[in-house]
Amino acid sequence: MNKKAIALMAACVFLLSACQTKDPDIKETESVGEETETTSQLSGDYYSAIITDGTYKTSLNRGITLGLNSNVNLKAFETGLMDLSQSHFSPDSYYFQEGQYIDAETTSKWLARATEKNPEGLNPEDNGKLEPNERNPIYLDSLLEQNYMVKDGDGFTLGGISIGLAMNTVDYYTQKEFGAEYETKISREELLAEGKKMADKIVQRLRETEGVGDIPIVVGIFEQSTKDNLAGGVYISETISQDGATTVQDWKSINQKKVIFPTSGEESTELSSFENFKSEIENFFPNLSGVTAEALYTDDQIVNMKVAINTQFYGESEIIAFTQNVAEKASSYLLPNIPIEITIKSVNGTEAFLSRKSGETEFYTHVFD
Amino acid sequence: MNKKAIALMAACVFLLSACQTKDPDIKETESVGEETETTSQLSGDYYSAIITDGTYKTSLNRGITLGLNSNVNLKAFETGLMDLSQSHFSPDSYYFQEGQYIDAETTSKWLARATEKNPEGLNPEDNGKLEPNERNPIYLDSLLEQNYMVKDGDGFTLGGISIGLAMNTVDYYTQKEFGAEYETKISREELLAEGKKMADKIVQRLRETEGVGDIPIVVGIFEQSTKDNLAGGVYISETISQDGATTVQDWKSINQKKVIFPTSGEESTELSSFENFKSEIENFFPNLSGVTAEALYTDDQIVNMKVAINTQFYGESEIIAFTQNVAEKASSYLLPNIPIEITIKSVNGTEAFLSRKSGETEFYTHVFD
């Protein structure tokens, strides 16, 4: 599953296929007069996106994920849900479309606290307390909807919906406007229990939404990482509501974590291999300012690694030679057999990029010039 | 030659080869006790760099190219000289090392104006005039030295030197400290004549430098682009001094130019293909803020293209779908058979990157996450 996600992000080359479609006004089947293209896939690992009249259809609550704690959370929240969706909606027969059923106004209401005026609020009502351990925290920080479409004659029809719930492990709040920031910590247990209750309500509401009917609905609970964490969060539990069921059961927990090397890694083969790599390349230039990695673990096995190197360069020859050196040392020292992505940055932005996919022994290398 | 340069920058994957060496103090042959590695090549298009004791040896005038008008000039100045050098010092038998013969102090003297105290200054003496058309401009803005090494037993010995002269087309100056900036324009004719005179002096001085002897010296004259130009400069003339000659003759002019699409391109197949591509992808998102390309021409033929797309994204799904779309449209609309590099940036930096090498029909695509 994770390998697929990596492949999804690692390289996407697509061919064009244009289709004529039937009816513009009915959501379930797109649409007379419009021209619907898809970005059709070269490999079974990628979803093709639906493009209508040359234009990408953004979600009805576009931009909602920008409210997450960090950019890495945003990316993990979205790609993680595509990843989960793959085992239910195969990229071979399903096409991707951003969510078209939960609009921005509805999302705002759902993400807000429950009040008399907003009974739809999924977060708990304000109990009037201000202390971190006494107040009711905001559990649900963001909500993501993805649609998985299937071909239907010349058009596309809805084949599945995936919902991501981004839950807080820390709820950041202020006690007065522009005041200092306080934190309410939320345990994983509490976060899961709350997320599951919310999932029930969301599925029930979606079943009542026009066009959804008894379409399968996948729900994933995403544990958002904190603001100061270099790694994004992970999905920790998932389920699917089938046959028009209005509740969700049979949650399946997902054993995933992201570890930042060298700071938060425990002793392990992969940590020591990373440390050897780091010390080798730090020798190359005296002024290497940072070498870190984010390792993703599934069921306690490392499944991929993203290395970020920050440094200062005094010329292009240095960048080229350094990139060559990194490619060599990465091949020699980093774990074989897992996909690895390495980004080399300076104050001028991304200077070079290296990537090795699963099963490859050499790094693809590109120096930006 | 340009194809080689592109290949050089486009992808460099290297293997390790370690060598024992002999004598640390003699410049010409590296060096007892040190361990010299090279980044050995997988393809004849790339130079391997020499690495001594795991450390990259930077040039004696390190950082001097930072003084150029722009980062694109810096990159073009350095990689352009490697490119020129390839036809004289084949990457199959020569190894790259940054310049070890012209030190920082010497460089400063040479780049300064000639004065009584600094007779070595290559730029003309100050004639006391302040008007743009009356004063003596600074012709030579920067000087680059590269060493090309050959194997010699267990070590390496100097096999060739390449010198790049970065000439101003505009000399930016102030009439008083912290005053307004004025410009003296320099014609290509004048710039070439001055560059060639300087090349004679530099070769003569190098011949007197310990360790250089009668090593072949390549000199390239680089026409620096102006500060407001999105494209870097190009080398416009080159020569080689062989058999210990103390002057250079037989200059060979290089017919190269860089054109920014769509702003400065004249009507052409490549410009209209770019404009079609641009309008297709602009349709994809309403908020695409900039699509430009830098096209390199040699002998009036387009040899490569670098496309820069700046846009704002509201989520990761958009980035993925947009990248897929760009790959499709680039395949359909941009010129076939030339190498193309496409970078997609947002305020968060480089979001995605696409690359197609010469002879390939599909784009390699990577979305950063």
- SS3 for chain B, per residue? CHHHHHHHHHCCCEEEEEEECCCCCCCCEECCCCEEEEEEECCCCCCEEEEECCEECCCCCCCHHHHCCCHHHHHHHHHHHHHHHHCCCCCCCCEEEECCCCCHHHHHHHHCECCCCCCCCCECCCCCCCCCCCCCCCCEEEEEEEEEEEEECCEEEEEEEEEEEEECCEEEEECCCCCCEEEEECCHHHHHHHHHHHHHHHHHHHHCCCCCCCCCEEEEEEECCCCCCCCCCEEEEEEEECCCCCCCCCCEECCEEEEEECCCCCCCHHHHHHHHHHHHHHHHCCCEEEEEEEEEEECCEEEEEEEEEEECCCCHHHHHHHHHHHHHHHHHHCCCCCCEEEEEEECCEEEEEEEECCCCCCCEEEECC
Give dist(CA A193, CA B367) in Å, integer.
34
Mean pLDDT of chain B: 87
| Residue from A304, A316, A332 to probe the interface with B (highest B Cβ count within 10 Å) | A316
Domain ranges of chain B: 58-254, 259-367
The gap from C-alpha A110 to its chain's centroid, in whole angstroms, comes to 21
**pLDDT at position A361:** 87
**Second CATH level (architecture) for the domain B58-254:** Roll (3.10)
Measured between beta carbons, the chain A residues lying within 8 angstroms of B78 are 315-317
Lowest-confidence pick of A2-11, A39-48, A303-312, B239-248: A2-11
Give the model's pLDDT for residue A17: 26
The reply to whether residue B343 touches residue A369, judged by beta carbons under 8 angstroms, is: no
**Chain segment B47-60, per-residue pLDDT in tens:** 999 988 878 888 99
Distance from CA of B97 to the nearest CA of A (A): 9
Asked if the model's pLDDT at residue B287 lies above 80, the reply is no
Joined together, the tokens standing for residue B167 give 């000439």
Report CB contact under 8 Å: A56, B8: no
For the segment A21-34, what is each residue's pLDDT rounded down to a tens digit?
333 333 333 444 55
Helix (H/G/I), strand (E/B), else coil: A253: strand
DSSP secondary structure letters along A9-53? HH---EEEEEEE---SS-TTEE-TT-EEEEEEESSTTSPEEEEET
d(CA A365, CA B291): 25
| A317 to B78: CB separation less than 8 angstroms, yes or no | yes
User: What is the rounded distance in angstroms from the CA atom of residue A329 to the CA atom of residue A144?
Assistant: 40
Give the pLDDT band of residue B108 (cuts 50, 70, 90). very high
Residue of A nearest to B41 (CA): A324
Whether B7 and B304 have beta carbons less than 8 Å apart is answered as: no
| Contact list, A49 vs chain B (CB under 8 Å) | 317, 320-321, 324-325
Q: What is the CA radius of gyration of chain B?
A: 23
Q: Smallest CA–CA separation between B260 and chain A, in Å?
A: 15
Q: Contact B298/B255 with Cβ under 8 angstroms?
A: yes
Q: Lowest-pLDDT range, A114-123, A266-275, B15-24, B73-82?
A: B15-24
The verdict on a CB contact (< 8 Å) between A314 and B71 is no
Residue in B11, B66, B332 nearest the CB of A365? B11
**Residues from chain A contacting residue B59 (CB–CB below 8 Å):** 315, 317
Q: Which tokens is B237 given?
A: 């003339």
How many residues belong to chain B?
Answer: 369
SS3 state at A124: coil
Instruction: Give pLDDT, residue A34.
Output: 58
A53-82, pLDDT tens digit by residue? 888 888 998 888 889 999 999 999 999 999
Contact at CB, B316 and A79, closer than 8 angstroms: yes
The pLDDT, as a whole number, for residue B254 is 96
Q: Which residues of B touch A363 (CB under 8 A)?
A: 13
Residue A323: closest CA among A295, A351, A287, A294: A351
What does the pLDDT look like over B163-202, one tens digit per residue? 999 999 999 999 998 999 999 999 999 999 999 999 999 9
Q: What CA–CA distances, in Å, run from A258 to A62, A303, B247?
A: 27, 10, 62
Instruction: Indicate the SS3 state at residue A274.
Output: helix
Has domain A259-367 been given CATH number 3.30.300.190? yes
**What phi and psi values does residue B203 have, to the nearest 5 degrees?**
-65, -45
Place of tokens 């991501």: A164
Q: In this predicted model, what pLDDT tens digit does every residue of B210-237 receive, in sequence order?
A: 999 999 999 999 999 999 999 999 999 9
Q: Give the up-direction half-sphere exposure of residue A352: CA atoms within 13 A in the CB hemisphere.
A: 31
| B211: closest CA of chain A, how far (Å) | 22
B369–A79 CB contact, under 8 Å: yes
Answer whether B12 sits within 8 Å of A365, measured CB to CB.
yes
pLDDT at A39: 58
Residues 6+ apart with CB under 8 A from B238: B84, B218, B219, B220, B221, B251, B252, B254
**Structural class in CATH, domain A57-254:** alpha beta
Among B95, B16, B49, residue whose Cα is nearest residue A328: B16
B309-358 pLDDT, tens digit each: 998 888 899 999 999 999 999 999 999 989 999 999 998 899 999 999 98
Q: Residue A175 and residue A168: Cα distance in Å, rounded?
A: 18
Tokens of A197: 């209750």
- Checking if the pLDDT of A356 tops 60, the result is yes
